[in-house]
Amino acid sequence: MRHGRYPLIVSFLLPPLVLYGVFVLSPYLQAFQISTTDWLGYSAQADPVGMANFRTLLHDGYVWNALKNNAILLALVPVLTIALGLFFATMLTMGGRKGRAGVSGVRGTSIYRLVYFFPQVLSVVIIALLWKEIYHPNSGLLNGTLRALGLPAPTWLGDPRFAFWCVLAVMVWSNVGFYVVLFGAAMQAIPRDIYEAVMLDGASRAVMLRKITIPLLWDTVQVAWIYLAIAALDGFILVQLMTNGGPNFSSDVIGMRMYDTAFGSETKFGYASAIGVVMFFLTLSVAVLALRAARRDRIEYS
Amino acid sequence: MTTVDDTAPATVAAPSRSKDRPLRRELGVANAFSHSFLVLWAAMTLLPLAWMFLSSLKSNSEILADPWGLPGALRFDNWTRAWTKAHIGQYFLNSAVVVAGSLTLTMLLGAAAAYVFARYEFRGRQVVYYLFVGGMMFPVFLALVPLFFVVRNAGLFGTWTGLILVYAAYSLPFTVFFLTAFFRTLPTSVAEAALIDGCGHFRLFFRVMLPMARPGLISVGIFNFLSHWNQFLLPQVLMQGDESKWVLAQGLNALAVNQGYAGDYAQLFAGLAIAVLPVLVVYVAFQRQIQAGLTAGQLK
């Protein structure tokens, strides 16, 4: 029976491991090494400079500006997305009238889910390009509407005061539907009897949401928070395609900084890798912090 | 793994008539209020897409004159122009070729590795597993610069083979993570019976275990398909230069850049519409599987 065991293990494990090692693991490890050099692109010349790149980073105003924007995304995108997602999911799973069946969704729940979720299957490139046209100062859908209503029509992505917030709005827009479905699925796993019991005790919907649904959904919300936080530290494609970081760096994000440093007009690979290392540690610590924070809250509830 | 059961609650809403009227009226008001939010969000999702389809059939002067206006005539030549002149058709095909390759490779290697991790004991298994799955934690940005050179030194820069291998490599951690968990949930008795009956280890995998793992394979397959199809960052870095090999996302971006110079809005909208349409059709047809497949990964 043992015959043929090791051939299988080796032949099944070796190809994926080689692929993973060559294209994933080795670049990650090299990135750390490159981040301590002054490598300037296509020549092989790269001298070790120790922590110099990271010291430069500390005083790089553009990097700090980009980080500030990522911090705003981090503070707002998860909260807004989760709040909207929870609200809509609640409406869809238990917003319906009280009937004999107890808790139920509104009419047309499946249609709403179908519509809400759709942006999730679209490429971010399509979303970015479509919204860029919607925000277009002259021919865009948004200003067309505002003008029809007799309201002022700003230049949105061309205005340093608005550009960043326009991108943030698109980020929330494109994510909400996914979390409506995710939370909805988790809510349906909650036994109906619990709701029927507290409803008999006269609990309102708001109380039900706060005291039952959210505590029981906490694991899912926590996962959602981590995913959204990591997405908020990225945002590269939306920014690059909608505003290219501008106007005047007002909508810059750290991924954009890194990409521009490495593949833009100058090819500072050493410095770009240092930014990449910073992104790695940021992502890691945000994930760990989110896990920690969420876990503490959970104890309060239980 | 959670399958989404989303039709059940909608149908059980059978309001009891005539009893508790004031309560019902109060709920009716609250309902109408919150229902309007649901409608509002649905409109915010649908309007941009409807606008895109509508604009793709308008002439450029119509688009510029009135964003809300209806097309005077349905100008399908916009679509033809985008498909042929802007090469969206070509890019579409390129994307299909790349994704067909990368998805096959990802699923094959991912399932094989996951199966070994889930079902075989060997020394160092834990270490190798965590090394593998740990790849999920890293932002792709960190690897971008060295990856560029790894791919170039391998002679794969600007080739579909390069893209296929890189897509597959970066999808493996999640695929292995997901499928290992899935293979562990499958009963061991079937495999044992097959081995006792003289079934070889390879045959066991292909004939017994893979078919049993179908639901998991479909979930993670949908997830990978979408992430490969929508990939932009990796082709942008690894597929510069030769335009004829670009994937759809790059082609659309080029179309948008070109619109900035030439001012051909209709062509851009048509290109976007062409890219959205098949996704929309497949999504509506397989809504439940797709939603379940994408959310399953997060609920783990």
Q: What is the dihedral of CA B143, B146, B152, B155, to 10 degrees?
A: -80
More confident of the two residues A46 and A163: A163
Chain B contacts of A17, Cβ < 8 Å?
113, 128, 132
Q: Which of A34, A97, A230 sits opposite B27 (nearest CB)?
A: A97
More confident of the two residues A205 and A260: A260
Any domain includes A124: yes
State the Cα–Cα distance between residues A274 and A292, nearest whole angstrom.
27
Any domain includes A22: no
Chain B contacts of A46, Cβ < 8 Å?
none
More confident of the two residues A215 and B110: B110
Q: Give the domain range for residue B94.
A: 80-299
State the Cα–Cα distance between residues A95 and A208, nearest whole angstrom.
11
Q: Which of A105, A117, A272 sits opposite B145 (nearest CB)?
A: A272
Chain A residue with minimum CA distance to B115: A12
Select from A141, A180, A217 the residue whose CB has the most chain B CBs within 10 Å, as the one to mutate to test that interface: A141
Q: How close is the nearest chain A Cα to the Cα of B46, in Å?
A: 7
- The answer for residues whose C-beta is within 8 angstroms of residue B147's C-beta and 6 or more apart is A23, A27, B166, B237, B238
Is this structure's pTM higher than 0.90? no
Query: What integer pLDDT is reported at residue A157 of this predicted model?
Result: 87
Q: What is the CA radius of gyration of chain B?
A: 25
Any domain includes A231: yes
Say how far residue B141 (Cα) sits from the centre of its chain: 20
DSSP state, B139? -
pLDDT digits 0-9 by tens, A56-102: 888 888 889 999 999 999 999 999 999 999 989 888 887 655 544 45
pLDDT digits 0-9 by tens, B160-201: 888 999 999 999 999 999 899 889 888 888 888 888 888 888
Q: In total, how many domains does chain B have? A: 1
Any domain includes B272: yes
pLDDT tier for residue A140 given thresholds of 50, 70 and 90: confident
> pLDDT above 70 covers what percent of chain A?
91
Query: What's the CATH code of the domain at B148?
Result: 1.10.3720.10
Which helix H or strand E contains B229, and what residues bound it? helix B214-229
Query: What integer pLDDT is reported at residue A150 of this predicted model?
Result: 83
Q: CA–CA distance from B272 to each of A87, A175, A299 (Å)?
A: 31, 20, 48
B285 touching A (Cβ < 8 Å): no
State the Cα–Cα distance between residues A13 and B110, nearest whole angstrom.
9
Q: CA–CA distance from A246 to each of A74, A160, A238 (Å)?
A: 19, 7, 12
State the Cα–Cα distance between residues B276 and A274, nearest whole angstrom.
37
A2 touching B (Cβ < 8 Å): no
The token duo for B234 is 């990796």
Candidates A134, A238, A126; CA nearest to B279 is A126
Check pLDDT > 50 for residue B19.
Answer: no
pLDDT digits 0-9 by tens, A178-212: 999 889 888 887 887 887 888 788 777 778 778 88
Query: What's the CATH code of the domain at A192?
Result: 1.10.3720.10
More confident of the two residues B31 and B103: B103
Chain B contacts of A25, Cβ < 8 Å?
131, 135
Q: Give the domain range for residue A146.
A: 59-301
Chain A contacts of B205, Cβ < 8 Å?
8, 12
Q: In total, how many domains does chain A have? A: 1
Check pLDDT > 70 for residue B300.
Answer: no
Answer whether A101's CB lies under 8 Å from B14's CB.
Answer: yes
Any domain includes A171: yes
The token duo for B218 is 């479909």
State the Cα–Cα distance between residues A288 and B105, nearest whole angstrom.
32
Answer whether A92's CB lies under 8 Å from A112's CB.
Answer: yes
Average pLDDT, integer, range A209-227: 84
DSSP secondary structure, chain A, as one string: --TTHHHHHHHHHHHHHHHHIIIIIHHHHHHHHHTTB---SSSS---B-TTHHHHHHHT-HHHHHHHHHHHHHHHHHHHHHHHHHHHHHHHHHH-S--BTTBS-PPTTHHHHHHHHHHHHHS-HHHHHHHHHHHT-TTT-HHHHHHHHTT-----GGGSTTTHHHHHHHHHHHHHHHHHHHHHHHHHHTS-HHHHHHHHHTT--HHHHIIIIIHHHHHHHHHHHHHHHHHHHTT-HHHHHHHTTT-STTTT--HHHHHHHHHHSSS--HHHHHHHHHHHHHHHHHHHHHHHHHHHHHHHHH-
Any domain includes B36: no
